[in-house]
Structure 1
Amino acid sequence: MRGLCAVLVVAGVAACTSSVPDSGAGVGFDDYDTYLSEKQARDAELRAQRSGAQTIAPPSASAATTPEQQTARDAVAAVRGTGAGQQGRGESVPAGIRNTSPNAPDLNNPSISDEQNFEAVSSRQSIESDAARRRAQSAQYEVIAPKAIPSRPGRDAQTPIEFALATTHPVGQKTYRRSVLSTNKAAKVCAGYTSSELAQDAFLKAGGPQKDKLGVDPDGDGYACGWSPVKYRTIAKRG
């Protein structure tokens, strides 16, 4: 009887005692390591959404090429006949078709000279034929001899250049009769001209050195307001 009671007591205690959970397992997961891995992945996804971070692809090599650089490449490729300038843009070119830029010059244009291309010239010219062609060109040269400048219609007065070449006496040599009172008047009148060239031109148009109506040639040398014909005479001698 006592033995049966002891067995019943032990069984009752066992029924009232709760089982101890496995410390290695997580809530709703097979183990704690799986729980941590999924938690870290979820946290990383949330951080990415909050920051709005986006992955930007690095610019390609073709995007960094300026239009001027691409045009230069196209022109070089067109001259070489390789079409490399256009292929750099990622365009496929069928076999047997020459790839050139629309901006490239037309090498078959007859108006473009190829005289500097040795292969092109040698294919159609020999040394003898080229020499004959040059002699024919030289025979067509026309040498035009210089002529005197014709007088302008409706103009009687000389220009300062014409007056300089028509006279030979130096500056300061009295050639025309003048009044003693002309000196004071000349200084005032000459101050109204911006240059001696303009004064000489007005002096000649007003009648020239024979009359000196403007009073700008007090010494009677024919040169108004200190104007000098030397530069024109020197040029004429050199020519």
Structure 2
Amino acid sequence: MRYLICGVASLALMACDPSMPDSGAGVAERGQGVGFSDYDSYQSYHKEREARLNGTASATTIAAPPAVSGGALSEADSVADSNARIAAAAANSGVAPLNASPSNAAPAIVENARGISGENDFDAVAAQRDIDDDARLIAENRAQYQVVAPEALPTREGSNRPNIVAFALQTTNPVGTALYKRGGFNAEAKYQRACASYASSDLAQEDFLASGGPEKDRKGMDPDGDGFACSWNPAPFRAVRGG
């Protein structure tokens, strides 16, 4: 009885134990690689992978572009292309291009523009007139020449201020030549103070004449007595007259 129980227990244990896989199943046959259809493919893949990692993979061959026909343009095509270029240039600039054809007439050359004298060109003058004509032309020019005599300065209307131009032309003494007696204490200080209030020597001279002129000089504007206040100079006005 005891042997029977042990035998049943052994059968039960064998039924619960999973079956052991066949370790030899799936082993690649000769010429076969793990995970690949064959060993040769595995070797090829391995070599290609090593080449890519080392940067020595074979370059991809690129087909050459198709050849382009290099035939020369015909004369008609060349003329048409030139005409098209000229038309495009004219349309862009707004000015018609110059026709450089040999049949195009040369532009006219202006020998002498209106208003430019040719008197210095002996050949041009000789072709226009002779010596007698020149003499008559000179005589006509002399007859038309007029000498304008100087006239008195016009008086300014609407103003009673002295005319410094008239005063300059009425006097003849140079600047610094004393004509009037001067004196007094601190004359230089008075001169500097009086002249500093005027924007120009012309205005100072005008006010100097309006205040009594060189005979009085109440403000001390003419310390040297030449009749000209605050360094005013009549020379420019006299130069116009020629004196």
Q: TM-score, normalized by length of structure 1?
A: 0.44
Which structure has the larger Rg over C-alpha atoms? 2
